Chain A
């Protein structure tokens, strides 16, 4: 399909070699994916066009205001109130320019949308308010780990509301919509770390739905994946629970030092009675914690809103047990 839309070479971007060299600038962060250049090049072309026309308009306006300012008792000289060829000219020229911009945006968009066939696939789950990345070996991670210089295709779904997958350094963004899969692809240029944001407003902790993309050097990704899959196997349960506490974003709402957040703190709650919304009270034991993770709205602690989403399908029974051990350890 792409062949149909390709223009003869002379109509392609003017001197792309020159533009491709722009790295970090006042306007844009350093481009970190292979497709960044198509976005950045058009951005700088648009910047040039905009500055040119804006300067033209403002200079003309200023010159006219000074030259033709009102003078006492001087009537304006007669001048034409329309000029059809001139008006057609300033209809036609912008039309050609926006046609060019449209075409460049369109071809760039096709590049961003068309993943190479051999791309490595990672599944993405977005939910209020965390990202989960599922790898081929079944490992789930809260950060997106990818090998350098390999096309990565993400197949994304949402468990609740609409979220937005956005990595500014890669110049890629796609909404993650419940009830359907959306996909996105990129190819990281260099090893390193990049911010990953949720760009579509999704409620209370929208601005905390931030994580990292870790780009591994050649050969390192496979090593990481093998190790990560076995990470919790050789760990004491409370230690594994502690890892899960940060990695599954429990810390977003629940502190370990006694300060109240969106949810109650975990410090010293185990084995004590706590008052619930509606007047009843409950003993914080293994079963209560398990219930609160899987059905958070069943028994809400007094003074808090029922806003926690369920972790059914996100945490396995083993992981829940690890978390309970961790909470027990917080005296």
Chain B
């Protein structure tokens, strides 16, 4: 009963040519010959994922600069570094860039694109050309946003509420068209993922043998495909009203401004789940792998993601409790909102139970996973305050809301994204990053984040409305308003420093990092069976499919400093 390396691992360590240096899948034949065109016209899901990574991280940095400008303006009451109009543009651009260019595409387009086909043991997604089109659409949409930046900017808030958005003089139309095009990028990615998961699963991988990250991407894709068209229609209606003066939302033209909010949140609330569900999928993977234990309650986690996706369509009105919708509608939406809280609670308890009797390794990705529980816990629990009708009336449109959604979107999605990025970084780049720096940066981000956003809950409960340029009038009777704002701004600088540290050591790892073994973390999902980085067609032969969370036959191999799968030979 001698144990030897699995055949696929042998092949991997022998090292097929990596997708980074050799990738003949391009849109047309000649493109493969030159380095630049072999990337720009690539049909390889891994290369598309890498292109998304550079583009989306650049947007993230841009949105981060806007955030720092906003926090610097708010470091003291009264005008600080910019004018009223500039401030209004800064928070608008911060929100729009972060949401449309980072949070919505972030996890699916970068990590999903890279990992999904390999997790399925497939060579690519179902429609590689559509995948490339999604990337091009993303680039077009992003270009329109940047165009908006240089031509008169945008000052509507990312929510585009009418009739302000139909009457302001800033470049609303290019921004709307940008968001419209980005929507199609999102729809096509979702469609591609759904079809891939239906058609490309290898023999032996039933639905309940799929890694939970794929379940999460599936639930996300359902929302992308079903909700995004509504956003597209809404934005087009807004363009029609602005350009042609047809009354849809502006009461001066016979329209209804609250109708816009219904349309907008019908997409934008489910979009919150487009942002958080893939993050939850990553967290499920991390908890299991770094506890070296089967994920607890696989089916409850899988179904709760789908439940969130479906119920997420029925709660949009909770953004409008004081917006002028009927009292009855408010009551129904509040009840539905509490319903959608349950699946998130289930997931949290399941993740905790996964730790129980595990073998917990506090590597950088796991630090982010634990950080996620802390921050998403606060984000989720403060959601109860906002879902409760009477309390909502007091904290509606205040910094309490700002703090809440940053705890969910940054403390949840961004932290999960960073966890996933570190987890799959060796697979994507073939290099190991410095784990010590990784854990230090994770700590800085955790502390900086809490320092930025926890005081904002207090700003909100003390009544500071969001999107305020100047809080002199508030600070006159409530000096603590200034204190909380100063703390928040200082936290933002610490958070930005932590993120810069991440950028630096990840870039350093590309040149100086240790070469990554095929399976550095001891994970059981399929992507760890091919080499790091994977060869252009992922698997030379179809991989053996097992339970994605069964670690019993995965052993540490000191020679390769990674993990290998042991198989027991029953035949000579």
Contacts and interface: CB of A to CB of B under 8 A. Distances in A.
A43 B393 CA distance: 11
A172 interface: yes
A94 interface: yes
Given A101-B384, A204-B84, A172 B358 contact: no
A256 interface: no
Interface in B160-199: 161, 163-164, 167-169
A69 B390 contact: no
A111 to B, nearest CB: 7
A195 interface: yes
Interface string B453-496: 00000100111011111110110011000000000000000000
A46 B384 contact: yes
Interface string B422-448: 000000000000000000000000000
B359 A27 contact: no
Contact of A177 (B257, B361, B465): B257
Given A104-B388, A179-B256, A207-B468, A57 B334 contact: no
Given A29-B462, A50-B381, A39 B322 contact: no
Contacts of A46: 384-385, 388, 391
A235 B322 CA distance: 41
B330 interface: yes
B296 interface: yes
B394 A182 contact: no
A108 interface: yes
A200 B370 CA distance: 36
Contact of A29 (B291, B346, B478): B478
A68 B355 contact: yes
B352 to A, nearest CB: 5
Nearest to B331: A106
A262 to B, nearest CB: 7
Interface in B315-368: 321-324, 327, 330-331, 334-335, 338-339, 341-342, 345-346, 348-350, 352-353, 355-362
Interface in A29-52: 29, 38-39, 42-43, 46, 49-50
B362 to A, nearest CB: 7
B463 A81 contact: no
B393 A162 contact: no
A206 interface: yes
B292 A76 contact: yes
A82 B458 CA distance: 39
Contacts, number: 274
B393 A112 contact: yes
A124 to B, nearest CB: 14
A94 B352 contact: no
Contacts of A26: 458
B229 interface: no
Contact of B323 (A74, A169, A177): A177
Interface residues of B, number: 91
A87 B346 contact: yes
Given A64-B360, A65-B370, A105 B391 contact: yes
B397 A164 contact: yes
A294 to B, nearest CB: 18
B392 A105 contact: yes
**How many A residues are at the interface, by size bracket?**
35 or more
Contacts of A29: 461-463, 478
A175 B320 CA distance: 9
B361 A70 contact: yes
Contacts of A71: 359
Contacts of A79: 293, 356-358
Interface in A59-91: 60-61, 64-65, 68-71, 74-77, 79-83, 86-87, 90-91
Contact of A90 (B299, B321, B345, B392): B345
A320 to B, nearest CB: 24
Given A94-B345, A102-B335, A173 B390 contact: no
A122 interface: no
Interface in A261-287: 262
Contacts of B76: none
Contacts of B168: 203
Nearest to B398: A199
B378 A75 contact: no
B257 A68 contact: no
Nearest to B549: A81
A115 interface: no
A305 B295 CA distance: 60
Q: Which of A29, A71, A98 has the most CB of B within 10 A?
A: A98
A46 to B, nearest CB: 5
B379 to A, nearest CB: 11
A51 to B, nearest CB: 9
Interface string B137-168: 00000000000000000010100010110011
Contacts of A49: 381, 384
Contact of A87 (B297, B387, B477): B297
A86 to B, nearest CB: 8
A64 B356 contact: yes
B209 to A, nearest CB: 14
Q: Which of A38, A61, A105 has the most CB of B within 10 A?
A: A105
A98 B360 contact: no
A111 B394 CA distance: 14
19 contacts: A29-B478, A64-B352, A79-B356, A79-B358, A80-B296, A81-B549, A82-B299, A82-B300, A90-B349, A105-B389, A106-B335, A113-B327, A161-B167, A166-B463, A173-B322, A173-B394, A179-B252, A201-B467, A206-B468
Given A69-B360, A90-B346, A161-B161, 8 more contacts: A50-B382, A61-B373, A76-B359, A101-B384, A105-B389, A203-B155, A208-B473, A210-B474
